[in-house]
Structure 1
C-alpha cells in the first residue's frame, strides 16, 4: 500500500473525538424523539325544596364531543371546591340572581371561555355534557339536573319549586376544546329565593337513613384530604337489594356538600353498571378535602324510579 493510500485510510477512520460527538448527537436525537411522542396525548334530590331531577331533559349540544369519561360510570376528578364562578379563564355567567319560591322555574346560564366567548362544546361525563346542582345553604334542599343547551351556548335548567332562602347553583362540565380541553370544572353562583326563610339544623352524622321504603347504610371513616373507600349498602324490608338499575352509567350517583360553606365534592363510583342487577353493596372512591360534616346525597334507581337518600357523614 502506498503512503498516499495509508493517509486516506487514516483520515476515513473516526477519531475518539468524532466518536464522542456522534454519540452525543444520537442521544440528543433520541431525547427529542421521545419528547415529541410524549407530548402527543389524546383527548381524553322528601326534603323541602329537594328534587332529584328524574324527569329533567337530556342535554343537547350540536358541537359537543362524544368522548366519555376515562372509566365507565366514573367521571373525572375536578379540583377545587366549586365555590367560585370562575377558574382558569372559564366563567359561569347568569342574569338570574333571584328565583321565585314555590313554583317551577328556569335558571339560565352560560359558560364562557378565556376568550370571553360562550363555550358550546362539552365532553360527555357520565352520559351528560352538563351536570347542574341547586343546593340550599342549610343543605335541606337539593336538585341534580341535566339542562339543555341552545345553539348560542345558553343553558336552561328547569328547577322544581324552591323554598325561600339562600341557594347556590353549581355547573359541572368538561370543555371539549380550547385551553381547558379535557379539564374538569365545577363553578357556582349564589341565588336568593325571596320570602320568609327558616334554616334547619343539619341532621347529626349517622350510619344510614331511610327513603321510599329503602334502608341506606354508609360504611367508612374518611379523613380530610385522603383517598378512602366508602361503601353504601341498600336494603328493602331487611332484604338486600340486588335489582338496582343503571343511572348515569353506574348503579348510584353520590354527591357531597360541606356544612357551612356548601363546598362541593363528587364521590366517584368504582363499579361499572352492566345491567339491572346492581347492589346491594356499592363502593365509592371518597376524597373529601375538608374536615367536618358533609351531607351526602345518594341517587339510585329501581323499577324505573329514581330515589334520593340524604345522610350526614363526619370527616376527621
Structure 2
C-alpha cells in the first residue's frame, strides 16, 4: 500500500468520525456539551432522565425509593410520595384527612405499634407535647381531641403507614402548622440534661448520637433510688420515644429495641436513634406503670 493511499484513508476515517460526532451532538441538543443536561426530555422508556426505575416514587426532596420503602423525612412536609395531609383546627379539635396518590381520601391503613394513626401536637417552643391516637370515620376523616392549647404557633403531625397506593407499607410522617389566637409567651427551652423526673420516677438517658448517623440511646427508669422493673407494655413496647428539633420542629421517632416479656420491663431500655440534624432536641419518653401513662421530657444536644 502506498503512502498516498494510506494518507487518503486516514483522512476519510477522520472526516467520518467528525460527521458522526456532529450528528450525535445535534440529536442531543445544544446543551450536550454542558454536562449533558437534557432537562425534561423523555428517555426511550417514557420516563424522565432522573435515574428512576418504573414504579419508583418521590418524596419532596426528589429522592426516589422503591414501593414499600420508607422515605427519609423530618416530618416537616405536608405532602410526600403523593400523599397529602389536610387539616383544620377548631377549638381543641383537629380534623384531618390524608389524600393518596390517586387523589382520593385514604381509608386504608396498616397498624404501626398497634395503631393506624399516631398524631402529635407541639408548640413552636417545643412545649405542650401531645401524642394521641385519633378516630377515623368511614369517609377517611380523622378526629383528634386535644387538651387545651396555649396561644401560639403549633405543628400537627400525622405518623402512619398507608394501606393502599404506591407507598403501601412505607411509614410516613406529614405535618401542618396551626395558629392558636391570643397573647403568646414562648417558654425557654430547658438546658440539655441527662435526667428528668416525672410522677416520682427518674429517667436517665445515656448515649451520644451524632447527627445523621445511626446510634443508640439507653434509658434507665428508677423510683426512690431503686430500679424500676414493672414497666407495662405500651404500644407493643415498654416505652415510646419521640424527639423534636429546636428551631424548626423536625420530628424523629426513636425505635425501641427492648423486647416485651411476661416479666415486666425495666430498668434499662434501648432505642435506635437517628437524629438527622445537630443541635438541641427535645425528647419525650412515655412509659406505663400501674395502668397510668407517664411522660418524661428532657433536652438532648446532638453533635454534628
TM-score over 0.5 for the pair: yes
Equivalent residue for 2:205?
Answer: 218
Q: Which residue of 2 aligns with 1:125?
A: 112
- Contact kept, 8 Å, 1:173 with 1:186, in 2: the verdict is yes
State the partner residue of 1:183. Answer: 170
Match of 1:89 among 82, 85, 95: 82
CA contact (8 A) 2:70 2:172 kept: no
Structure 1 SS opposite 2:204: strand
Q: 1:206 to 1:113 in 2, by over 3 A?
A: same
Residue pair 1:244, 1:276 contacting (<8 A) in 2 also:
no
Query: Gaps spanning 5+ residues in structure 2: where?
Result: 1-68
Task: Tell me the residue number matched to 1:255.
Answer: 242
The equivalent of 2:72 in structure 1 is 79
Which gives a bigger RCO, structure 1 or 2 (Cα 8 Å, sep 6+)?
1
Equivalent position of 2:29 in the other structure: none
Partner of 1:159: 146
Instruction: Assess if the C-alpha contact under 8 Å between 2:122 and 2:128 holds in 1.
Output: yes
Deviations for 1:191-222, whole angstroms, at most 9, x for unmatched residues? 11111110011001001110000000000001
Change (3 A) 1:305 1:77: farther
CA offset digits 1:146-189 (Å, max 9, x no partner): 00100000000111111111100000011112111111110000
Which secondary structure does the structure 1 equivalent of 2:142 belong to? Answer: strand
Structure 1 runs (4+) greater than 3 angstroms displaced = none
Aligned residue number for residue 294 of structure 2? 307
- 1:290 & 1:260 partners in 2: Cα distance? 11
Q: Do the aligned partners of 1:296 and 1:311 also contact (CA within 8 Å) in 2?
A: yes
User: Between Structure 1 and Structure 2, how many residues are aligned?
Assistant: 236
1:77 to partner: Cα distance: 6.2
Q: Which segment is superposed worse, 269-278 or 122-131?
A: 269-278
The residue that corresponds to 2:269 in the other structure is: 282
**Contact persistence 2:78–2:174 (CA under 8 A):** yes
**Partner of residue 257, structure 2:** 270
* Structure 1, gaps ≥5 residues long: 1-75
C-alpha distance in 2 between matches for 1:290 and 1:180 = 25
1:83-113 alpha-carbon deviations (Å, 9 max, x no partner): 010001100012x2x543xxxx221000001
- In the other structure, the counterpart of 1:139 is 126
Give 2:230's match in structure 1, choosing from 225, 243, 248. 243
CA distance in 2, matches of 1:159, 1:301: 20
Tell whether the 8 Å contact from 2:70 to 2:170 is kept in structure 1 after alignment. no
